[in-house]
Amino acid sequence: MHKVAGSLFKAHTFKNTLVIHEQQFRISRASSQLSSEKANSYNYIIVGAGSAGCVLANRLTEDPQSTVLLLEAGPRDTLLGSKRLMWKIHMPAALTYNLCDEKYNWYYHTTAQRHMDSRVMYWPRGRVWGGSSSLNAMVYIRGHAEDYNRWGRHGALGWDYEHCLPYFKKAQTHELGPDQYRGGNGPLHVSRGKTNHPLHRAFLEAAQQAGYPFTDDMNGYQQEGFGWMDMTIHRGQRWSTASAYLRPAISRPNFSVAEKTLVTKILFQGTKCIGVEYVKNGQRKKVFANKEVILSGGAINSPQLLMLSGIGNADDLKKLGIPVVCHLPGVGQNLQDHLEVYVQQKCTKPITLYSAQKPLNMVRIGLEWLWKFTGEGATAHLESGGFIRSEPGVIDHGRVASTMEAYQVHVGPMRSTSVGWLKLKSSDPNDQPIIEPNYLSTERDIWEFRQCVKLTREIFAQKAFEKFRGPEIQPGNHVQSDKEIDAFIRQKADSAYHPSCTCKMGQPSDSTAVVDPQTKVIGVENLRVVDASIMPSIITGNLNAPTIMIAEKAADIIKGLPSLQEKNVPFNFSCLEDTELLKSLNSFPEYYINGYDRSSGTDCSYDITLVKIKDFRYKKEEFLFVSPGSVMDGEREDEVLSYDYDMQLSWTPDPGKKGPSDTASYTILHILVYPARALVTIKTNMHREQHMAELIRLTASRRHNLVNFTNLITRKRRKKANTSWL
């Protein structure tokens, strides 16, 4: 018994010893793992060293207590520390070389576009230090002030113009010096063109001859008009965010940066973000963030990574076998881009860049730039442009070399109503997502593009171009009718490479929003998105400057600093099409105009806003009528309707208000209705004043029964629908 008992005791003791050793091993292993994770942990992990990521890395490491890891899928933008050895990136005139180089470029393509003759569009995006700021055309355009006010009204609280302007200025050092709109002490150097080329001068002169104003700063008080463009070029070199923000911070002891590192997944504990998984040199690794992970991969990569990590539309993720962390259906939706077309004219004088393509001249230009960063290689030659509800600029994307002396204008709508989406093709991070921009899917976009071609032809027909003007190359003199112009646009329009809005900023109550106004991803913890994807809507211009501004502002939010603000900075309101802004204006004359509410069958009183656009090109004026509830009842909000009329409209000013004393009479020719507004083409008997536009506030009245808009719409509509619109 005792022996047996002793044996049992020994066995029991041995078993307990094994359990204790196993527990100690587990504790030791867990402790070792925790130590390893702590050693492999940072306060902030930033995914993407592009236009936003470089800004964030610089600003967050200004605090020596904050440790930051920046992960970039592409290589450095220098070779052996030299910009000269990477001249394809840093020489401004060499910008086209990397547009088709997969070494520095994600090389995306869209789906076949059904409204553009089933063409597949090419979308280059930067995959290198500096991101697309290392590949772009270096145009510095902020957009219109009202773009940001619209953001604020649509849920991005704190992102209106008075809260964004200070961050544009904080980022910038403009060579012309600081003023109410320009910055003078920021890391991003901005300059004006130095060539003073005769074709640029002719372009600006011709625009004024066509009746458009000259603006001395399209990033200042008045965007509308034509003028000299700002560029992110400094001392003859491309001034990307890698040059402006990344290199000055690279030596900080609290900053680490990894290149050629593809982030494949965001790591979560429940809904709390704890780090990322990445692949480098074929090895899969993890790194942890004890504060936040910030996605700055851009409008394609950021939503792609969110979806790969389980954040997106739950139904779509389940189909691909991706575990759902958070159902957020707005991820990848709301995709917006600028589309543009080139109108080309043969030049009768040998003054274009055609001769620069000859081998000996290319060598000469290259050697001068390599020696002292000057000459024709020191500019992108995109030095003049304008905004008149379009965006001209004299240069090409350059993927096809020119074959003759010629000049051209890029032109396209800045506020397109066509909206697309992107989705995962598979759960493999190496598979490019499905990109569907849905170009030219609305009647309004087609109409505006048609007008773009016509206005460009009108500018080229001015006296200023007489000594340079040869035959039209594109679209060609054989393209004249609206139908022919539309066909040309479908065949030749191309992306301006401005994808945005796929992780829309808004209120958590907005089912389409992905991040809140603090840039935090809705529904999870410790995860932000900071790049062009969070724009609620695309801005009126190029995206690099606004993306840098977004990152500057987000950096202050992340650091817990109060937002900068500049109140009451004036800007020009001409030709605005924003309903809510116009309704808030009280400084313009008020008029009485009749209304008839079909839903109630009675005369009514509504506030109606009218934008009167003096259009000297086509000897007509365009009016924008807006009223509360002006979207057609029963219609989709993105639907565009069109009507043709030959009816008279007139109104009489209120005797108690200041304004013209004559009754104005107009003939309505065409009404184009789109969400919450209607564009009306009319003829007028009034004398045309010599300015581009004026705003008039109208107030509907029961006093007169001059025109019954509802009856017009009912009689001329292409399809039935009830309406309460005036």
Sequence-distant (6+) residues with CB within 8 A of 2 are: none
Amino acid letter for position 720: K
Contact criterion met (CB below 8 Å) for 578 and 416: no
Tokens 């209304």: give the residue.
595
Angstrom distance (rounded) from CA 492 to CA 116: 9
Task: Collect all residues with Cβ–Cβ distance below 8 Å to 510 and sequence separation of at least 6.
Answer: 155, 330, 504
Nearest CA to 241 out of 602, 548, 576 is that of 548
Query: In sequence order, which residues have a C-beta less than 8 Å from that of residue 33 and are 6 or more positions away?
Result: none
Integer angstrom CA distances of residue 414 from 394, 539, 623: 17, 7, 19
Is residue 552 within 8 Å of residue 171, measured between CB atoms?
yes
Residue 258: C-alpha distances to residues 52, 90, 579 (Å) = 16, 21, 47
Which residue's structure tokens are 């008149």?
388
Classify residue 433 by its DSSP letter: P
Of 501, 59, 548, 462, which Cα lies nearest the Cα of 226? Answer: 462
User: With contact defined as beta carbons under 8 Å apart, do 517 and 155 qualify?
Assistant: yes
How far, in Å, CA of 229 to CA of 380, rounded?
Answer: 11
Distance CA 513, CA 634 (A): 24
**DSSP-derived secondary structure for 540-606:** SS-SHHHHHHHHHHHHHHHTTPPPP--TT-----TT---HHHHHH--SS-EEEEE-EETTTTEE---
232 SS3 class: coil
| Residue 355 three-state SS | helix
How far is residue 662's CA from residue 653's CA, in Å, rounded to a whole number?
Answer: 8
Choosing from 397, 410, 498, 691, the catalytic residue is 498
Give the DSSP letter of residue 336: B
| 498 given a catalytic annotation | yes
Which residue, among 425, 430, 486, 431, has the nearest Cα to 454 in the 3D structure?
A: 486
Give the number of other CB atoms < 10 A from CB of residue 31: 10
Closest CA relative to residue 581, chosen from 148, 44, 209: 148
| C-alpha distance from residue 134 to each of 67, 72, 242, 624 (Å) | 26, 13, 8, 40
**Do 585 and 225 touch, CB atoms closer than 8 A?**
no
Question: What stretch of H or E contains 491?
Answer: helix 482-492
The answer to whether 354 and 406 have CB atoms below 8 angstroms apart is yes
Whole-number Å distance between alpha carbons of 538 and 535: 7
Q: How many helices (H) and strands (E) does the chain have?
A: 16, 34
Q: Enumerate residues 6+ apart whose C-beta is below 8 A from 611.
A: 575, 576, 577, 582, 623, 624, 693, 695, 696
Active site residue ranges: 498
